[in-house]
Every structure is written in C-alpha cells, then in structure tokens.
Amino acid sequence: MMTRSFVTALALAAIGFASSAHAQDVAAGEKSFNKCRACHQVGETAKNGVGPELNGLFGRKSGSVAGYNYTDANKNSGITWDDAVFADYIKDPKAKIPGTKMAFAGIKKEDEIKDLTAFLKQFAADGKKK
C-alpha cells in the first residue's frame, strides 16, 4: 500500500510540475505584440515611430537606437536588455525607468511576458529572423 501511495504522490507531483512549466510560444508572443504595435515595429521594414523599433532588442543598451529621440531617463538608465530586465520593465515601464515617456500600463502575466520575449528574440538587429 505504501508503494502505491508513493507512486501516486510522484504522479501528482509530475502533473503539477508539468502544468506549472510553460514552453515559450512565439505565436502567442506575436499576438501579445499587438499591444505594442501602436508604438513599436519589428522586422526588416521596421522604423522608429512613437517608440523605437525593437529589432535586436536583447543585448542592446537602453536608449541606443539611432534616430530615436529617447528621454534622458532611458539614455542614462544603464540598462542592457536581457530576459530578466525586459520582464521586469514590461510589467511596469515607469517603475523600472522613472521618467520614461513610454505610456503603457504593462503586461503582468509571466507566461505572456515569456511568449512576447520569445517573439522579440526572433529578430536580429537588421530585422531578419534568426
């Protein structure tokens, strides 16, 4: 009987782990990016708009896209974009970089942030998909 209980406990633990794990979903990230499209572009024809184009975002320093008029807050933030910094920023941009002109309420759901990150990471600095 103890063996069956142990096996049952292992099975339940595995189910719980599997349901808490989330594989990044690029298609869901593209859908989430629709919240960003009013201000930002990605891809080979991307241009700066209300916000800077987001090609090659990860590994780039904040406030460094040529031709975009950043606030001093962004230029002087000292941020280099990576998964963790982006996740923190996108939850509440004005809290992460006080003085930014980015007027966005944020994305709070961890899974949505991971999906959006996966979508954005597809794009190299030249806008081509990696």
* Each residue's pLDDT tens digit, 54-80: 999 999 999 999 999 999 999 999 999
Could you tell me if residue 19 is inside a domain?
no
Q: What's the pTM? A: 0.82
Note whether 79 and 97 are within 8 A (CB): yes
pLDDT at 16: 45
Query: Is 6 inside any structural domain?
Result: no
Lowest mean pLDDT among 5-9, 84-88, 93-97: 5-9
Residue 8 lies in a domain: no
- Does residue 15 lie in a domain region? no
Q: Are 56 and 42 in contact (CB under 8 A)?
A: no
| Number of residues that make up the chain | 130
Question: Where residue 116 sits, what CATH number does that domain have?
Answer: 1.10.760.10
56 Cβ partners below 8 Å, 6+ apart? 123, 124, 125, 126
Q: Does 14 fall in a domain?
A: no
Has residue 15 got a pLDDT over 80? no
Count of domains forming the chain: 1
Residue 115 lies in a domain: yes
User: Residue 79: which domain range?
Assistant: 24-121
- Flag whether pLDDT at 8 surpasses 90: no
